[in-house]
Structure 1
């Protein structure tokens, strides 16, 4: 028993490492592949009934979290809907992170309890913003709590002639929920 008390200071001195965020995978359509390497998840809306919408971005390049933290409007409490939120605009404005592509997902809690793909976008070589979504993408959430959200983005092939716009997605994410702090 005495050994346990002697070891306790050592255990407290070396706490378990924090769970690191993880993003990997891709979405592809018509020869354009977006490979995801970074991501962020945050509460983007809370309606009058308390239903929370969590927005998830997976990006092809690293996000500048220090710049995101500097957004004063983004640090405010979420509004009742995502249309009034400036958070997505801040992320999509980081051209170094999103030019090669990004995917935006939203999970709406409450009775709906559903996740949907909002956008799969990239900037083409001529600077035009281009969408990639083929409509056959699916999102499955495995972990969803106030501190973490994890899931997979996949796709299912459709038969001709409905497969002309099919995309292929195999991506996964495991992210802490929260907007970067100053």
Structure 2
């Protein structure tokens, strides 16, 4: 009985492994602070190469609403353009209006992770990007059950640094589309 009680006392001291996102990206005075995220298989090509997409958002995602997408529960298509998942995440303005980042990881021969975009909805309603082209995704863990990494920025030398942004974002996500 003491062991059970002790395990409940120690539980809050364990690191959080699911859904941990913290950090920011900033450019030209606009800062997006990321607090939530989701990772999911978004495509599988004819050779079996999987593209995993990660979205980091400024506000909490509505996972219950995402789970209601019948199309999203099926097997992924051959490319991300035919997937409804990313569009559905981006349409959640309660989570994305203050900003979001889309990262795609293609686990083929190149094994590359790239920032697709960093966007926010400006006060005038215009969709605006802050990506300065100097962001770098570093994955520490990439398994079917856990993706841990960082988005950092590398400064360009002048005069190529006019569009530089600063990013310091850490994420620890459990891949998978929400279930109803």
Q: TM-score, normalised by structure 1?
A: 0.90
Q: Is 2:85 the counterpart of 1:87? A: yes
Aligned to 2:76: 78
How big is the shift at 1:20?
2.9
Name the structure 2 match of 1:160.
Answer: 158
Give 2:140's match in structure 1, choosing from 142, 148, 153: 142
CA RMSD of aligned residues (A): 1.9
Q: Which residue of 2 aligns with 1:112?
A: 110
Q: Distance in 1 between matches of 2:150 and 2:33?
A: 14
Number of the residue aligned with 1:53? 51
For residue 64 of structure 1, the aligned residue among 59, 62, 65 is 62
CA distance in 2, matches of 1:96, 1:66: 13
> Does residue 19 of structure 2 align to residue 21 of structure 1?
yes
| Moved beyond 4 Å, runs of 4+ | none
Report deviation, 1:50: 0.9
| CA shift digits 1:126-145 (9 cap, x unpaired) | 00000111000000101001
Deviation at 1:104, TM superposition (A): 0.2
Partner SS, residue 117 of structure 1: strand
- Whole-Å separation in 2 of the counterparts to 1:57 and 1:39: 5
Offset of 1:159 from its aligned partner? Answer: 1.4
Local SS of the residue matching 1:127 = coil
SS of the residue 2:61 aligns to: coil
Q: Which one has a bigger Cα radius of gyration?
A: 1
What displacement does 1:7 show? 9.3
CA distance in 2, matches of 1:161, 1:7: 64
- Aligned partner of 2:28 in structure 1 is 30
Q: Which residue of 1 aligns with 2:120?
A: 122
Is the 2:17–2:172 contact (alpha carbons within 8 Å) kept by the matching residues of 1? Answer: no
| Aligned mates of 1:170, 1:7 — CA distance in 2 | 42
What is the CA–CA distance in structure 2 between the aligned matches of 1:56 and 1:121, rounded to whole Å?
14
